[in-house]
Amino acid sequence: MKQIELRVNGERVVREVADSRLLLDFLRNDLGLTGSKEGCSIGVCGACTVLLDGQAISSCLALAVFADKHDVTTIEGLAEDGRLHPLQQAFIDFGGFQCGICTSGQIMSAKALLDSNAHPSEGEIKAWMMGNLCRCTGYYKIIESIQAAAEGRVGA
């Protein structure tokens, strides 16, 4: 067991965790933040994507102790004052989700993309987002959602 201290969605968290505790399990089971999902368990599907100091990572491959002294942002931390983040609104308006199981990961990856590249080309979106699988949408409307958020065409 090790004590870790980190910020999760802006709030300070201090917890005892087993050395082997995965960050995903820590978020879901210890903190009750179940928006991050477990799909493949091997870092391929992207459903567990969270931001660690702003970088998109697969939380199913990271240990909780790895997040010690770092900032973690999950899907639950995206809305501000009850208002959805433009990416979240865009995924609703443009059909970027269906079953929703990959959606948290898609949005977190897209946030990391737009934070580093405010106006990505379609090719840049595809290259960046290929680590987030979606079986429902065929991806077309996810691309459209990200483009709409980048261009401020949201909440009309």
Partner 1 sequence: MVTASSVGRAVGHVEGPGKVSGRAQYTADLTLPGILAGKCLRSPFAHARIRSIDTTRARALPGVRAVLTSVDLPDRNIGRRVLDIPMLARDRVRFIGEKVAAVAAESADIAEEAILLIDVDYEELPAVFDAVEAMKDGAPILHDNAAAYAGMPQPLPDFPNAVSQVFYRKGDIKTGFAEADRIFEHTFYAPSVHQGYLEPHACVVQIEAGGRINAWLSNKTPFTARAQLAAALDVPEQRIVVHLMPLGGDFGGKGSLMDTVVCYYLAERSGAPVKMVMTYTEELMAGNPRHTTVVTMRTGVTNDGRMTARQAKFISNSGAYAAFVPSPLATLHGATHTAGAYRVPHVEVEALRVYTNTVPTGHMRAPGAPQAVFAEEVHMDMVANELGLDPVELRLRNSLVEGDESSLGEHWQSIMSKETLRAAARDARWGEAKPPNVGRGIALYERTPGTGESTETLTIDADARITLLTAVPDTGTGSHTILQQIVAEELQVPISSVAVQAGDTDIAAYDSGAGGSRVTHAAGRATQATAVELRKALIELAARIFGTGPESVSLQGGRFVAAADQLTLAELMLRARELEEAPITRQGSYVSPRGHSEVTSFAAQIAEVEVDRETGQVTIRRVVSAHDVGRIINPLTHQGQIEGGIVQAIGQTLTEQLIVADGSVTNPNLGDYKLPTMADIPALSTLLLETRHGPAPYEGKAIGELSNVALPAAIANAVYDAVGVRLTALPITAEKVYMALQAREGTGA
Q: Which of 4, 17, 47, 52 binds partner 1 (CB under 8 A)?
A: 47
Placement of tokens 């009850």 in the chain: 82
Burial 67-92 (b: 16+ CB within 10 A, else e): beebebbbbbbbeeeeebbbbbbbbe
Q: Identify any residues that bridge with 83 across adjacent strands, giving them in sequence order.
A: 80
Nearest-approach distance from CB 4 to partner 1, in angstroms: 18
Q: Which of 4, 17, 33, 114 binds partner 1 (CB under 8 A)?
A: 33
The span of 51-59, 62-70, 113-121, 133-141 binding partner 1 (CB under 8 A) equals 133-141
Nearest-approach distance from CB 141 to partner 1, in angstroms: 6
When asked if residue 37 is in the footprint of partner 1 (CB under 8 A), the reply is yes
- The H-or-E segment that residue 50 falls in is strand 49-52
The span of 63-71, 102-110, 111-119, 147-155 binding partner 1 (CB under 8 A) equals 102-110
Q: Identify any residues that bridge with 3 across adjacent strands, giving them in sequence order.
A: 16
How far apart, in whole angstroms, are the C-alpha atoms of residue 112 and residue 74? 12
When asked if residue 31 is in the footprint of partner 1 (CB under 8 A), the reply is no
What separation, in Å, do the N-terminal and C-terminal C-alpha atoms of the chain show? 50
Q: Which of 103, 112, 148, 149 binds partner 1 (CB under 8 A)?
A: 103
Mask: binding to partner 1, 82-101, rule CB under 8 A, as x and -?
--x---xx-xxxxx-xxxxx
